[in-house]
Amino acid sequence: MLTRIQVQWHFLKRLLSFPKYPRYITDLYLRWCFPSLLRRQGIVAGAGITWYGKPILARWDGSSLSIGDDCRICSRTLDTALGINHAVVLRTLAPGAEIRIGSGVRMSGTTICAKKSVIIGDRCVIGANVTIVDTNFHSLDPLVRSSPQDALDAQTAPVVIGKDVFIGMGSYILKGVTIGDGAVIGAGSVVTKTFLPRSIVAGNPARQVGDI
């Protein structure tokens, strides 16, 4: 048990940790102010979410963005072993688009963009710097790509990630992919097709290398 002098010394050390003040202020903001800001923006955030640093959340009018209970969203490199390249980015890109994240999901430096639909099941673990998108963003035709029609011509297909999926760091989950419950995606994979539950997947392009 700490003595009174030890308690006072620990408090003094924290008080004198000036470089940490911005972090303390950010944490207070995320705990007390951020949830109400999200509600005003039409973003649904469940109970018990832990925000490590401030994410980038953008909801297009007429679209939906929801995060389930007890998620851990890490946008600060000091709070994850591998570090991250940037804050978490969750962004819908068109009216009617949907990003739905289940309960108990953990992610660090993740980017999720949905022009149609990205759905992530409960208890998924998404490693550092993973990208999940349901669109090509640009046309495959170079003439269209140089025109105002570019984004409208981009191919789009929903992404569905089941429950209890682990996605290794630096992986890319691309349009039209469904990943079954309990699957494991190896680090650095580029997933372009559907995989069954409890598959072990790795590579570029990703292929099944085993089962659980």
Residue 202 C-alpha from the chain's centroid: 20
2 occurs within a structural domain: no
Residue 11 pLDDT: 59
Q: How far apart are CA 113 and CA 137, in angstroms?
A: 10
190 occurs within a structural domain: yes
Query: What CATH number has the domain bearing residue 206?
Result: 2.160.10.10
Our count of domains for the chain comes to 1
- Give yes or no: 138 in active site: yes
14 occurs within a structural domain: no
Express the helix, strand and coil content of the chain in percent, nearest 5 each.
Answer: 20, 30, 50
10 occurs within a structural domain: no
87 occurs within a structural domain: yes
- The mean pLDDT values, 10 residues at a time, for the chain of 212 residues are 64 55 78 92 96 96 98 95 96 97 98 98 98 95 88 92 98 98 98 98 97 94
Q: Which residue in the list 23, 138, 163, 198 is annotated as catalytic?
A: 138
Backbone angles phi, psi at 90, to 5 degrees: -120, 115
4 occurs within a structural domain: no
CB count within 10 Å of CB 2 equals 9
- Give the domain extent around 112: 19-211
5 occurs within a structural domain: no
